[in-house]
Chains A and B, each alone.
Chain A
Amino acid sequence: MKIQVGVGCESEFAFFLDCGADEFYGGISDVPGHLYGGQNFSDEKTFLKAVEKAHARNKKFFAVANEVRGDLFESTLKKTLYLVKNGADGLIVRDIALLKELQKQNLKCELILSSLALCFNSGTLNFYADLGITRLALPEQITEDEALSLIKNKRRVGTEVFLTAREYCVVLNGFCYLKKFTGECICRAGFRKGKEIFAMPRPSLQQHYSSLYAFHKAGAQFLKIGRHPSKDYAKIIFKQALAVRELLEAGLDREIFVRKAADAHFKFGEFLLKWKEKK
């Protein structure tokens, strides 16, 4: 299983390139992309320099364009075409209009359907495959039963999966407008009604790892790490991802894998706590 890391700048990219990440993705500041914390490359030039360095080590680097902005459509199309024609290995997209226009260009690149798209069945996968997607980033909220038919699809669409034990949106992140309430993310907050406090349900740690085990066994090829506001935080998560990958590839049975992965999760959790205390 390859590890794909989201990066926000040259120094972050250089670090993960030296640490052995297999693939990269990043955004550019004026190309609409979903960014929760983290940062974008300031311009295409800086981005493409990083792409060149990735290629020198036989690694791939994708550009993010996974938000739908009709007012920026023409500039987004122009920039994404420019990026691909000048070296980017592909794009992470979701906008059907953009996919349609890219398809007309007959580009030879990866078109990765963003995890923000609502792709939960093979009929929908076929719909997007007809629009040219070559890979699918599984939605964070997909269950292992649901993912099977997508991972084992007949359209030769590769699959990526987030390390959801660390990166998980409680609601569908592609359709989340909860920030309108306080300016911050509130999906993990409790909401009060009289004496009742309601917290949105989410999977347990064991369920996250059990699903990851199933995704890997079914054939998901890429483990994704998202972009983070702090490079130090991202480094700890990356190291955890390396440890999890090692466990996945050790041929363990599910129960043992989940137990060991959860142990590793808590160990890295301690590193994260120490990092927070130092901040």
Chain B
Amino acid sequence: MEREKIERAVFFHGSIPENRRLIKGKVLCLGSEFCPALLVRKKDIEAALNTALSGIAVYTSFLNERELGEHISALEEILKDFGDIEVMINDFGLLSWLVKKFPGVKKGIARPLSVEFMRMPYRQLSDFMSKWSLSSIETDECSMISNFPQKRNFNVYFRLGPVFSAMSRFCPFTRKISPGCSFQCKGRLDKFSVKGSRQKIYRYEKGYFSACEEIDLKLKPQRIVEDIFQAP
């Protein structure tokens, strides 16, 4: 019996490395699940296409009114020329717009929203995913994948990287919610000690994480997304 091939993806935080062999044959992930200021523009897609990619996935966070408007403008520009981009979402306002304006676009649920979705009962989750034309859900909790049957009507992506633990609305660098940063977070993964714990807490963008989990390939995720941090 033919073994199902697991797709590989890389999420570069910071610059895309000059050594494009790291990306070859993989899905390139851009954007951010945690910070709306790290918005992907058309020029970022165009720059990424100079590589033998297997695809591009644009990640988005939950959004306020202004940010939703900005994301809609940016995605409209991207998707009219690059309709096979996958959009990973955290915002139902953005999802509603995508379904109306670009119904054929491939869409998935990213963290942190997927943390909630991974806990939904399979039947209801499956109905929701079908109704909203969502084809994937991404998790960093390997054990949660076993909540779903192996034959499921959506893909599960496993995020091989720091495990989501919390997120703040505040930028840890500007110490504000409002925009106007100089993208000091790009490519940074900071590690801190926590008093009373042997575990370290990791921070990138506006998210806080614990150490990466091991993956159990028997749970058959359709894609493994690996985080790579490289400061510009």
Indicate, yes or no, whether A interacts with B. Answer: yes
Interface residues of A (CB under 8 A from B): 68-71, 73-74, 94-97, 100-101, 118, 120-128, 141, 143, 145-146, 149, 170-172, 174-178, 180-182, 184, 186-187, 189-193, 198, 200-202
Contact between chains at B115 and A175 (CB < 8 Å): yes
Q: Give a binary string over B67-88; 1 marks a CB under 8 Å from any A CB, 0 the rest.
A: 1100000000000000000000
Inter-chain CA distance A11–B175, complex, in Å, is 42
Known contacts: A68-B116, A101-B124, A127-B93. The answer to whether A201 contacts B167 by CB under 8 A is no
Taking CB atoms, residues of chain A closer than 8 Å to B20 are none
Q: Is B204 an interface residue (CB 8 A)?
A: no
Inter-chain CA distance A123–B177, complex, in Å, is 20
Contact between chains at B201 and A181 (CB < 8 Å): yes
Inter-chain CA distance A154–B197, complex, in Å, is 48
How many residues of B are counted as interface, with CB atoms below 8 angstroms from the partner's CB atoms?
53
Of A170, A176, A182, A193, which one neighbours B196 at CB under 8 angstroms? A182
Taking CB atoms, residues of chain A closer than 8 Å to B192 are 191-193, 198
Inter-chain CA distance A201–B170, complex, in Å, is 6
15 contacts between A and B (CB under 8 A): A97-B125, A120-B62, A120-B65, A121-B64, A123-B93, A123-B96, A124-B91, A141-B168, A143-B177, A178-B165, A189-B194, A193-B193, A198-B203, A200-B208, A201-B170
Interface residues of B (CB under 8 A from A): 62-65, 67-68, 90-97, 112-113, 115-116, 119-122, 124-125, 127-128, 147, 164-172, 175-178, 190-197, 199, 201, 203, 208, 210
Inter-chain CA distance A73–B63, complex, in Å, is 29
Sample of 13 further A-B pairs with CB below 8 A, known A118-B91, A193-B192: A68-B119, A70-B147, A101-B124, A121-B65, A128-B92, A141-B169, A141-B177, A145-B64, A177-B165, A180-B210, A186-B201, A191-B192, A200-B170
Inter-chain CA distance A149–B67, complex, in Å, is 13
Inter-chain CA distance A172–B92, complex, in Å, is 17
Complex: chain A residue closest to B191, CB-CB: A193
Complex: chain A residue closest to B173, CB-CB: A201
B101 to chain A, nearest CB (A): 12
Known contacts: A73-B121, A191-B192, A198-B192. The answer to whether A182 contacts B197 by CB under 8 A is yes
Contact between chains at A149 and B65 (CB < 8 Å): yes
Contact between chains at B166 and A171 (CB < 8 Å): yes
Contact between chains at B128 and A100 (CB < 8 Å): yes
Contact between chains at B199 and A70 (CB < 8 Å): no
Contact between chains at B195 and A189 (CB < 8 Å): yes
